[in-house]
A and B are shown apart, each in its own frame.
Chain A
Amino acid sequence: MQTEGAPAPSSLPGGPKPSHPFFSLKPVRLLIRFGMLAILDAFSLLFIWTLIANGRYPLAAFVFVITVGVNIAFLVEKAYPFRWFAPGLALMILMLVYPTAYTLYVAFTNYGDGNLLTRVQVIDQIESRTFAPEGATEYSWTAFRSNSDPDEYVLWIQTEGESFLAEVGEELTTLDNASSAIRGSLDASGIPTDVPGFTRLAPNQIFAILDALTEITFGEEPNTVTVDSVRVARRLEQRYLFDSVADTFTDQRTGVVYTPVQGTFTADDGSTLSPGYWVPVGGENFRRLFRSPSLRGPFIRVLIWTFAFAVFSVLLTFSVGLFFAMVFDHPNMPAKNVLRSLVLIPYALPAFITANIWRGMFLPQFGVISTTLENLFGSSPLWLADPTWAKVGILIIQTWLGFPYMMIICTGALQSLPSDIFEAATIDGAGPLRKFWNLTLPLLLVSVGPLLIASFAFNFNNFTLIDIYAEGGPPIVGTLTPAGHTDILITYVFRLAFSGGRGADFGYASAITMVIFLILATITALQFRFTRIWEEISENV
């Protein structure tokens, strides 16, 4: 970026970019540019390195491509315009294009609880598991407690002719290698009385901490020791040996061989080693979506309600908004502008506030709507807990939230309708209703149609209202997924991925996201096809 702040030299006719009379600013500018680019590159490389170390290869690749792009923009003179797009495009690619591509990828994997880690992480974890083999050498042991941390211990273990000092995370220390303080303090049984920084525990102190001691693995892999009983400690061995050629784990205790099946090492009898890692599973998530009876049911329900909610939202807000717009649109109407401003308030308030207010009003026993209905009719529907009434409640709120916007749009559109065709219609003997259906409405739809489609697309993903009203509830009974009767696709995805209480299922959630993408793409294509938006945009380029 060219950040030098030199005042523009006085006008020099003829030369568009006059050079400075005494010295050129160009080298300084270049230096600043290269310097900043170098800092950015160093930063990016560190980031990429961190990502690779954590196994996030696709993201590392994206960051690399973005960095290369930025470098080209700032180094190649022909790419000059792209310097101006660098910040916006880099952010767009990183935060919008990458997540979209990644969602598509995750939709074909089993990423989720039980398969959260990468393959490398899982193999590491399973390899670090140990066991105490039958018939392994038994050691007698003595515990020492740290003087600084009461939960830290070291172990002195010994058997015929062999003794070690075992510390957590350290290699076992043989007697020969032990410090002179230790070697000099051996008692009659060959146990040191003095380990620097630690205090030897008497046998009667052992019982209180035995449970804690058995949990600790002493030593460093693969030579580890664990306390088995009051008297016995055992050397541990690696439990599962990984064969990288056959890609299997073998249980050293039982001899059972585990082969990976969809990211989980599985034995012939079906038993598995957890955790699993995440792997591509092909169209499995989509198959579950459309075929599995326990998942298809809630998905289809959610899908239908999503469309119903979006369609009814547009219909209700538009008809109420249009009705009020026509009522207000009269030359002799008093205080027109004040009224319009006041009616606009529901639209001006943030939805997260108004949705909460309405939720409060709909609450059973306390809410003003419920209590009023009870006073009038003796009972009130369960607005939040009944599947049908919850939907009605949402549509009431949505009408309230959205009609002012429609009213504003319709007011503008009504005022721009040509009046001569209405005069002609009156002369031809058309009544008010006929004129409305045959003239006002069709003409209006031409101008507000695109906005209605935009409103549909918006409500298709109206997370705020649905989630605040009843968090998608009431729940659909008897399903494997956390679906609710008022859930729309986007809230369903949210629950699957983040707040299911039945575990995260990123793969399945991403598959549903792809369905949303498809639907939105279709809506947009229709919008372009039946309106002139695309032509306008293409011409405006």
Chain B
Amino acid sequence: MSSLQAATPLKYRLRNQLDVGWRVLVALLALAFALGPVLLIVSASLDPRDSMVSQTVIPENADFSNYSDLLTSEIHPYGRWLLNTLKISIITAGLTVLICSISAYAFSRFRFKGRRGLLLTVFLVQVFPNALTMVATFLLIQAVGLFIPSLGLNSHGGLILVYLGGAMGINTWLMKGYFDSVPRSLDESARIDGATDWQIYWRIILPVVKPILTVVALLSFIGAYSDFLIPQIVLQDTDQFTLAVGLSLFIRNGDYSKAWGIFSAGALIGAIPIVTLYMFLQNFLVGGLTAGAVKG
């Protein structure tokens, strides 16, 4: 209906003022709903009393004591969790891009028997995320650990291994679609110059498809960073935890009313990397590139 009003402005010009008025009101309501909890956390993180009780909108004697407490906390090694998470997410993102771009290049450039079946299989397999088979994944990582402990239970290597297992699928598809749009004349000329397939992939194609590599890297980074299930299955020691598992401990252990300020500080710091990445991703959101990024 709104586009209609735009199309016939004469008839509605007088009502426009009123129309915009209520829209602004509703927009402010939406803003309050969306940002309320976030502002609450910002305020709590600056409130030195560190308690949920009697929290005020603008804290008295605001300071950064919660932040310094957070980073020096003996009970909850927050800094370590953050480093663990960044390490796992970055390695996962890097290897995912490498593995998937190699496959996508072959899907895009080679013609061979079984190509179609393989492509469709890769697409279908990703319908079932590996979080579902958590029991088998647990037993599998346990078995791998018998041989290589640094890829077994309670290791970050094991966690990354699980993530890489789910890397094919939608990522390969996203990349293959993009690779297809790179004109083949580019490869042909390189091939005439004597380049091998690997050289064409590494030196010609990869630099041209950076946008899709960025999208896939960001998506897998965010996926690993935010995962709450698989770390709980693979990791056992508090020191090995990721942020997602660790942060929940702040307000699960009964003393939540006291740790609220520290938790808030931790929540905000933990959100920074992801919010920053989403700013990058926003441009791709509407374009439908993020079909695999459904979250709500």
Interface residues of A (CB under 8 A from B): 1-3, 8-13, 16-18, 46-47, 50-51, 54, 56, 59, 80-81, 84-85, 87-89, 91-92, 94-100, 102-103, 106, 313, 317, 324, 326-334, 339, 341-354, 356-361, 363, 365-368, 398, 400-406, 408-409, 411-412, 414-415, 417, 419, 422-423, 426, 432, 435-436, 440, 451, 454-455, 458, 461, 463-464, 467-468, 490, 493-494, 497-498, 506, 509-510, 513, 516-517, 520-521, 524, 537-538, 540-541
- Does B270 contact A334, Cβ atoms closer than 8 Å? no
CB distance from B182 to the nearest CB of A (A): 15
Task: Decide if B27 is an interface residue (CB 8 Å cutoff).
Answer: yes
- Does B35 contact A95, Cβ atoms closer than 8 Å? no
CB distance from B249 to the nearest CB of A (A): 10
- Does A96 contact B125, Cβ atoms closer than 8 Å? yes
- Tell me whether A324 and B228 are in contact in the complex, defined as CB-CB below 8 angstroms, given that A100-B128, A329-B2, A357-B40 are known contacts: no
Chain B residue with the shortest CB-CB distance to A468:
B248
Q: Which residues of A contact B120 (CB under 8 A)?
A: 537-538, 541
Kindly state the separation between the CA atoms of A426 and B90 in the bound complex, as whole angstroms: 54
Q: Mind listing 5 A-B residue pairs with CB under 8 Å?
A: A8-B194, A343-B34, A348-B274, A435-B4, A467-B228
Task: Decide if B83 is an interface residue (CB 8 Å cutoff).
Answer: no
- Tell me whether A363 and B52 are in contact in the complex, defined as CB-CB below 8 angstroms, given that A94-B165, A351-B226 are known contacts: yes
- Does B257 contact A356, Cβ atoms closer than 8 Å? no
- Does B295 contact A360, Cβ atoms closer than 8 Å? no
- Does A50 contact B146, Cβ atoms closer than 8 Å? yes
Kindly state the separation between the CA atoms of A537 and B291 in the bound complex, as whole angstroms: 14
Kindly state the separation between the CA atoms of A506 and B146 in the bound complex, as whole angstroms: 20
Give the segment of B59-67, B70-78, B131-139 that binds chain A: B131-139
Q: Which residues of B contact A353 (CB under 8 A)?
A: 247, 267, 270-271
- Does A99 contact B130, Cβ atoms closer than 8 Å? yes
Q: Which residues of A contact B119 (CB under 8 A)?
A: 541
Task: Decide if B41 is an interface residue (CB 8 Å cutoff).
Answer: yes
Kindly state the separation between the CA atoms of A347 and B35 in the bound complex, as whole angstroms: 11
Q: Which residues of B contact A50 (CB under 8 A)?
A: 146-147
- Does A490 contact B136, Cβ atoms closer than 8 Å? no
- Does A423 contact B8, Cβ atoms closer than 8 Å? yes
Task: Decide if B215 is an interface residue (CB 8 Å cutoff).
Answer: no
- Tell me whether A326 and B2 are in contact in the complex, defined as CB-CB below 8 angstroms, given that A92-B125, A96-B166, A513-B135 are known contacts: yes
Kindly state the separation between the CA atoms of A513 and B180 in the bound complex, as whole angstroms: 37
Selected from A16, A106, A347, the residue in CB contact (under 8 A) with B136 is A106
Q: How many residues of B contact A (CB 8 A)?
A: 117
Kindly state the separation between the CA atoms of A511 and B294 in the bound complex, as whole angstroms: 27
Task: Decide if B6 is an interface residue (CB 8 Å cutoff).
Answer: yes
- Does A440 contact B100, Cβ atoms closer than 8 Å? no
The number of inter-chain residue pairs (CB within 8 angstroms) is 341
Task: Decide if B184 is an interface residue (CB 8 Å cutoff).
Answer: no
Most interface-central of A353, A401, A468 (chain B CB within 10 A): A353
Selected from B127, B168, B263, the residue in CB contact (under 8 A) with A524 is B127
Selected from B20, B135, B196, the residue in CB contact (under 8 A) with A106 is B135
- Does B133 contact A400, Cβ atoms closer than 8 Å? no
Kindly state the separation between the CA atoms of A94 and B247 in the bound complex, as whole angstroms: 31
Q: Which residues of A contact B128 (CB under 8 A)?
A: 96, 100, 517, 520
- Does A91 contact B164, Cβ atoms closer than 8 Å? yes
Top 6 A-B pairs, shortest CB-CB distance: A95-B165, A402-B296, A84-B106, A99-B136, A348-B278, A99-B133
Selected from A47, A84, A368, the residue in CB contact (under 8 A) with B40 is A368
Q: Which residues of B contact A103 (CB under 8 A)?
A: 132-133, 135-136
| Chain A binding surface SS class | helix
- Does A95 contact B162, Cβ atoms closer than 8 Å? yes
- Does B194 contact A46, Cβ atoms closer than 8 Å? no
Task: Decide if B10 is an interface residue (CB 8 Å cutoff).
Answer: no
- Tell me whether A464 and B228 are in contact in the complex, defined as CB-CB below 8 angstroms, given that A96-B130, A349-B274 are known contacts: yes
- Tell me whether A464 and B99 are in contact in the complex, defined as CB-CB below 8 angstroms, given that A84-B106, A342-B34, A455-B294 are known contacts: no
Most interface-central of B1, B6, B116, B127 (chain A CB within 10 A): B1
Kindly state the separation between the CA atoms of A17 and B125 in the bound complex, as whole angstroms: 37
- Does A455 contact B296, Cβ atoms closer than 8 Å? yes
Task: Decide if B214 is an interface residue (CB 8 Å cutoff).
Answer: no
- Does A402 contact B295, Cβ atoms closer than 8 Å? yes
Chain B residue with the shortest CB-CB distance to A471:
B252
- Does A51 contact B143, Cβ atoms closer than 8 Å? yes
Chain A residue with the shortest CB-CB distance to B19:
A330
- Tell me whether A18 and B271 are in contact in the complex, defined as CB-CB below 8 angstroms, given that A328-B23, A412-B286 are known contacts: no
Kindly state the separation between the CA atoms of A366 and B54 in the bound complex, as whole angstroms: 8
CB distance from A464 to the nearest CB of B (A): 4
CB distance from B193 to the nearest CB of A (A): 5
- Does A16 contact B191, Cβ atoms closer than 8 Å? yes
Given contacts A327-B26, A343-B31, A363-B251, 9 further A-B contacts (CB under 8 A): A84-B106, A88-B102, A95-B137, A333-B27, A334-B20, A345-B35, A351-B228, A419-B3, A498-B138
- Does B229 contact A494, Cβ atoms closer than 8 Å? yes
Q: B residues 249-267 with Cβ under 8 Å of A?
A: 250-251, 256-257, 260, 263-264, 267
